[in-house]
Amino acid sequence: MSLQQGLAIVLQVKDHGDSDKIVTLYTLEYGKIVLIAKGAKRSKKRFVNKLELFSLLAIHFAPSRHSSLMRLDQADLLNPFPRLRENYERYIAASLLCELVLHWTREHDCDEELFRLLVWALEGLALAGGAVNRTIIFFHVKMLDILGYRPDLTGCLDCGVLGAPGVVYRFSTMRNGLVCSRCESQATGNTSQPLSIQTIQLLRRAQDMEQGKLERLHFSPAATREAVALLKRYDNHLLQREVQSWSFLG
């Protein structure tokens, strides 16, 4: 069987028995794939230093005849992003990005745009002085867009208005949009934290902004907190599971 090749980011690495590793990769060409790296735990040469979280690799792999697991044949390290392991805050952030891609994607569901977004975000986190939380929020908003889960932030789902004076806005995960305090019935029981107009507008700008212009967005600490809480709740609701890395974010 001929080898397939691709570009990949390492999302997860697990030991498998005494000598092998199971790696989950997000690839440019095939989406998320799970491969077995034979001898990776013991071998001094072939995979050492390469099958590490967040690393950008050029890989060669083969479908296995004996099991459903495909076999990783060769990996060349293109970028290990060393700075992501030298700082705990950046390590948490990079872990979160990888965990999001791990849970939000299906195997063999290829998406070039998402791959490029992930590489771009990891590069951004590795930069000195890069704003970690802003990169996370922007990545998440863009990822939802790419995957077709854009939350509707244009205005209250019922009255269509945004920014009416004295009105409080909450995000409804059930209805995937904003509901204002005038339209909200007691029965829906949305007890989530209200979103400030400033946070809603920042998230809307992020939805429509190109990656290169990210530094134009300035999230205040309060807006960051609100946006993070919203995205975390959105993940829990749609994935029906907890994304663990969120709880370590400072």
Q: By CB under 5 A, name the binding residues for Zn ion.
A: 156, 158-159, 180, 183
160 binds another protein, rule: CB under 8 A: no
> Closer CB to another protein, residue 24 or residue 199?
24
Total site size for another protein, rule CB under 8 A: 30
Cα separation, 211 vs 46, whole angstroms: 35
From the list another protein, Zn ion, none, which binds 18 (C-beta under 5 to 8 Å, kind-based)? another protein
80 binds another protein, rule: CB under 8 A: yes
Cα separation, 4 vs 38, whole angstroms: 17
248 binds another protein, rule: CB under 8 A: yes
- Answer whether 156's CB lies under 8 Å from 178's CB: yes
15 binds another protein, rule: CB under 8 A: yes
Q: How far is the CB of 218 from Zn ion (least distance, A)?
A: 28
Half-sphere CA count of 30, side-chain side, radius 13 A: 21
Cα separation, 150 vs 198, whole angstroms: 19
Task: Out of 4, 5, 64, 87, name the contact with another protein by CB under 8 A.
Answer: 87
From the list another protein, Zn ion, none, which binds 210 (C-beta under 5 to 8 Å, kind-based)? none
Residue with tokens 């001929």: 2
Cα separation, 112 vs 215, whole angstroms: 24
From the list Zn ion, another protein, none, which binds 180 (C-beta under 5 to 8 Å, kind-based)? Zn ion
Per CB under 8 A, the segment of 86-94, 129-137, 156-164, 171-179 that binds another protein is 86-94
Cα separation, 144 vs 101, whole angstroms: 10
Closest alpha carbon to 195 in 218, 162, 217: 162
| Amino acid found at 162 | L
Residue ranges that bind another protein, judged by CB under 8 A: 12, 15-18, 44, 48-49, 52-54, 77, 80, 82, 84-88, 91-92, 95-96, 98-99, 102, 244-245, 247-248
